[in-house]
Amino acid sequence: MFAYITSLFTADMAIDLGTANTLVYVKGKGVILNEPSVVAYTIKDGRKEVLAVGEDAKLMLGRTPGSIEAIRPMRDGVIADFVAAEEMIKHFIRKANKRSKISKPRIIVCVPHGATPVEKRAIRDSVLRAGARKAGLIAEPIAAAIGAGMPIQDPTGSMVVDIGGGTTEVAVLSLGDIVYARSVRVGGDRMDDALIAYLRRQQNLLVGEATAERIKTEIGTARMPADGKGRSMKIRGRDLLNGVPKEIEITQAQVADALTETFQQICEAVMAALESTPPDLAADIVDRGVMLTGGGALLGNLDLALREQTGLSITVAEDPLNCVALGTGKSLEYEKQLAHIIDFDA
């Protein structure tokens, strides 16, 4: 009875606690919050106080004076800084749950398939301490596939590749569960790092993470342009030879070159998944193709390059950045049918 009454006041929530972005889905409403996973603190007399969370905090990354610290609490898809992660979850829950101060929501969070029991426990505890009445976990690849509208309950093989900020998860699903999954710690962050290293090595130019991400989203490509050059953009950084600011132009060919290794690692993960999949399911995947989700799926020509390398047909999901949150949210809406994949055990 008590549970029924509280459920009238609180809307259950689903959270995609991502390395790069955190999204909150409220049951019956959809995705109502989407912000970078960043927390900024002020440091006064050795004491830390939260200054900003999300969008505002991301603007501070790489631009902070000594008295301010901006942190990304998630690394490689799991919590790296527990205190900051909890602050962040608390902040987002409060923001999404303005309506109800009296009761606590039930919250489902997705976790990478590769998360260890200790990492899962940590995520569950953080969510409970941040104000959830009950915390459920769901495997991220299942959420991604549901969010991308794949028929995961059917007796056919479906392959989903979720390329996030921290990890790429490749999974084969059939009959509503995971047949094979592998998580590689390669994603958008690694692409940014590769661009930073490339510019340092080839151009003696030091750029920050924000600039690297901008290059990737504006002219990033996984495939060498046909004319050997492609589009280009101007970027600024510090000249490592004399320490002064310098502006250069970077071409898509250079970006493709810098991203080669990261792209190859994603390709290898897809091929390894196909090789480890039972033959009949692998045949389904050859027939039906592969679905790409996550922000990394937006990298220019990634679908084409993957098709060329793997011979599989590749589809980018309609709204790749939202798939996991939508899928986690749908698991709330269809909780009865999907009970077997939600882990509510404390």
Ligand X SMILES: Nc1ncnc2c1ncn2[C@@H]1O[C@H](COP(=O)(O)OP(=O)(O)OP(=O)(O)O)[C@@H](O)[C@H]1O
Q: Which residues make up the interface to ligand X (CB under 6 A)?
A: 18-21, 77, 164-167, 187-189, 213, 216-217, 220, 294-296, 298-299, 321
The tokens 């002020």 sit on which residue?
A: 42
Helix (H, G, I), strand (E, B) or coil at 259: helix
Q: In whole angstroms, how close is the CB of 127 to ligand X at the nearest point?
A: 15
Q: Which of 152, 171, 153, 151 is nearest to 161 (CA)?
A: 171
Nearer to ligand X, 73 or 188 (CB): 188
Among 10, 14, 18, 326, binds Mg ion (CB under 5 A): 18
Report how far Cα 154 is from the mean position of its chain's Cα atoms: 26
Rounded Cα gap, residues 326 and 290, in angstroms: 19
Nearer to ligand X, 136 or 165 (CB): 165
Q: In whole angstroms, how close is the CB of 327 to ligand X at the nearest point?
A: 12
Give the strand order in the sheet containing 177-184. Answer: 177-184, 168-174, 158-163, 290-293, 314-316
Q: Quick one: what does residue 296 bind among Mg ion, ligand X, none, with the CB cut-off 5 to 8 Å set by partner type?
A: ligand X
Among 54, 114, 141, 164, binds Mg ion (CB under 5 A): 164
Q: Quick one: what does residue 147 bind among ligand X, Mg ion, none, with the CB cut-off 5 to 8 Å set by partner type?
A: none
The 10 Å Cβ neighbour count of residue 264 is 13
Which single residue brings its beta carbon nearest to Mg ion?
Answer: 164
Is residue 248 within 8 A of residue 150, CB to CB? The reply is: no
Stretch that binds Mg ion, among 53-61, 150-158, 184-192, 323-331 (CB under 5 A): 323-331
Q: In whole angstroms, how close is the CB of 313 to ligand X at the nearest point?
A: 21
Q: Is 188 in the site for Mg ion (CB under 5 A)?
A: no
Nearer to Mg ion, 16 or 284 (CB): 16
Stretch that binds Mg ion, among 16-24, 57-65, 217-225, 299-307 (CB under 5 A): 16-24
Rounded Cα gap, residues 235 and 81, in angstroms: 32
Write out 25-80 in H/E/C secondary structure. EECCCEEEEEEECCEEEEEECCEEEEEEECHHHHHHCCCCCCCEEEECCEECCEEC
Residues near Mg ion (CB under 5 A) are 18, 164, 324
